[in-house]
Amino acid sequence: MSAKKEIHITPVKNGTAIDHLKPGSGQKILEVLNLRDTMVTMGMNVESRKMGRKDIMFIEGREISEKELDKIALIGKGATVNTIRNSEIVKKTELPYPKTAEGIIRCINPRCITNAEKIASKFGIRPEPLEAKCLYCETRMNEEEIVSSIKK
* Beta strands per DSSP E along the chain: 15-21, 40-48, 52-60, 80-85, 88-94, 100-102, 122-126, 131-134, 140-142
Q: Which amino acid is at 114?
A: T
Q: Give the C-alpha separation, 151 to 15, whole Å.
A: 22
- Structural contact between residues 80 and 47, judged by C-beta atoms closer than 8 angstroms: no
Please provide residue 91's backbone torsions phi and psi, each rounded to the nearest 5 degrees: -155, 135
Q: Give the C-alpha separation, 29 to 79, whole Å.
A: 11
**pLDDT digit string, tens, across residues 33-87:** 988 889 999 989 888 888 899 999 999 999 999 999 999 999 988 899 999 999 9
Mean pLDDT of the chain: 91
At 3 the pLDDT is 62
**pLDDT digit string, tens, across residues 114-148:** 999 999 999 999 998 999 999 999 999 999 999 99
